[in-house]
Amino acid sequence: MPDVVPDLADFSGVVSARRGDHVIGEWAVGLADRTAGAPNTPQTRFGLASGTKTFTALATLSLVGDGLLRRDTRAREILGDDLPLIADDVTVDHLLTHTSGIGDYLDEEIDAMAPLSVPVQQLDSTPAYLPMLDGLPTKFSAGERFSYCNGGYVVLAIIAERATGISFADLVRTRVFEPAAMAASGFPRSDLLPPGTATGYKEDGRTNVFELPVVGSGDGGAHSTVGDLHRFWQALLAGRIVDRSLVGLLTQRVTADAGDGLGYGRGVWLDDDDLVMVGGDHGVVAVSRHHPPTSTTVTGLANVEVPTFARIRDLMSVAKRVGVVPAQ
């Protein structure tokens, strides 16, 4: 039986491999807080960056399930006069599948690490993102093709808030985190991180506090732990977050190849049989892969900018084949 040994070169964070209720292995390296000398541990909370989009998609689909939104609801029905450059035929489903064609405030086809156009301290709620999303011309007609769009997921958060009258962070908490028993997950302020949260560090050693919104929204900013993410995948596939029919929509391969051979559903990347959550930003890298047939989750959460996707994919290929000895 192969040994489970992750590549931890230059890594700072936590790598975890779990199956069902069993921990195959967990490795915590580096410091969560360099000033305090606090080490990373398996219980440390890390920023998920774009991994947040999976939760946004689920929260949105839960509103569809409750009849508060439809997949064919046009964004304009909810936005009214806001963001007038979003085409009238763009729907919730276009936004979920990255096929909306709307202009992106952070267009990764141009520069994934470009500075934000407004001071990050102003971004302390989902409505505060509106000025940053405004004035961006349409890239292509809705439904024409896949194009990863950060702003589209913030628009989903705006739509969800207006459809319910509830803040986006509270929507995700009540509709995703609580049903999945993800007690350590949330949307903390970057200038008021709760105890046990890793500080993100840029390559020059400075923290990322001046690079990211002070409070995240639909496209990033959620924080979680390796344990919570394993519980998330288990709860999702057991139908405890949304009905299994909605899980099927989340994981449907809408785009067969969205890049590098990965498919895309609604908020989830698809790599053969693996469901994949991915995020990366200044001082943040997060990859969580789940293999439903074996209930195996392999997650890498880092508070430095280090290549993580390939090493988590490689670790998953080994973890799938490792036997687990039941607890006595």
Kindly report, residue by residue over 236-279, the tens digit of the pLDDT.
999 999 999 999 999 999 999 998 899 999 999 999 999 999 99
Alpha-carbon radius of gyration of the chain: 19
**277 or 110: which leads in pLDDT:** 277
Band of pLDDT at residue 113, cut at 50, 70 and 90: confident
Q: What angle do CA 300, 306, 307 make, to 5 degrees?
A: 75
- Domains of the chain: residue spans and CATH: 13-319 (3.40.710.10)
The answer to which of 20-34, 41-55, 111-125 has the lowest mean pLDDT is 111-125
List pLDDT tens digits, range 210-240.
Answer: 999 999 999 999 999 999 999 999 999 999 9
Cα–Cα dist 249/262, whole Å: 17
261, with CB counted inside 10 A (0-12, 13-18, 19+), is exposed
Measured over the CA atoms of residue 117, residue 122, residue 124 and residue 125, the dihedral's sign is negative
The single residue listed with the structure tokens 């006069």 is: 81
pTM over 0.85: yes
